[in-house]
Amino acid sequence: MSTKGKSAGGGASKGSGSRMLVERVKTARGRKPSSTRWLQRQLNDPYVQEARKLGYRSRAAFKLIELDDRFHILKPGLRVVDLGAAPGGWTQVAVQRVGGRGKIVGMDILEYDPVPGATCMLGDFLADDSPDRLKQALDGLADVVVSDMAAPTTGHPPTDHLRIIGLVEVALHFALEVLAPGGTFLAKVFQGGTEKTLLDLLKKNFTTVRHAKPPASRKESAETYVIATGFKGGDGGRDSDSDSEQG
């Protein structure tokens, strides 16, 4: 899938877009102008078209493909947890890149169709028994925890920023419970980076912390991603130097 995924990501951002015919959405009675604009953007989004062509459940699959092409997060045989997995696009990519020797577990509070090759669990990862359930499904600790979750937006940027940072913080605390030493944590944040307390916690528990915005993220979107590698495991609580880079 590696080759297929790479060509898919590149093709979506370059080749498909250059050949694509612009489709216009007819204004339907009762449809808000904002809904019409959203539909037109979806119809003319090369990533949406490529996702349909390749059978991915969402265009977001290409964000993980592009991040993995750059940072080499997903490797054959690894154990991967996908938090907030619905509708399953990131889980699909993980299955393809980790292969049959690995184990992938997706969890979401929303019901979604199972992804072949993965264990898809319905539940809240904040529940007390969730870490044990995931470890049992993985037959051990995770090598990678990924999260593309985003809190519902209010339209008030400071509030939205605090909400998504809060979501990343709880995802990180969960990851610290289930990751094996040397593991990786990848999560969506807002541009402007992470809050100091969150960044300090990441640097305390991982050897390297980077930020990156994949090409599949829409230019107008404030989203970016934090990639923390080299989980220190039991030594994570000790203060130590770590690298921090802007990707």
Active site residue 188: yes
Are 84 and 149 in contact by the 8 Å Cβ rule? The answer is yes
Parallel, antiparallel, or unpaired: how do β-strands 223-231 and 206-212 relate?
A: antiparallel
Are 95 and 76 in contact by the 8 Å Cβ rule? The answer is no
The annotation status of 139 as a binding-site residue, yes or no, is: no
The annotation status of 117 as a binding-site residue, yes or no, is: no
User: Could you count the other beta carbons within 10 Å of the beta carbon of residue 127?
Assistant: 12
The annotation status of 38 as a binding-site residue, yes or no, is: no
Catalytic residue among 4, 26, 135, 188: 188
Please tell me whether residue 24 adopts helix, strand or coil conformation: coil
Cα–Cα distance list, 22 to 42, 46, 167 (Å): 11, 10, 37
The annotation status of 108 as a binding-site residue, yes or no, is: yes
The annotation status of 69 as a binding-site residue, yes or no, is: no
Residues recognised as catalytic: 188
Binding residues: 88, 90, 108, 124, 148
Task: Give the residue ranges of the annotated binding site for S-adenosyl-L-methionine.
Answer: 88, 90, 108, 124, 148
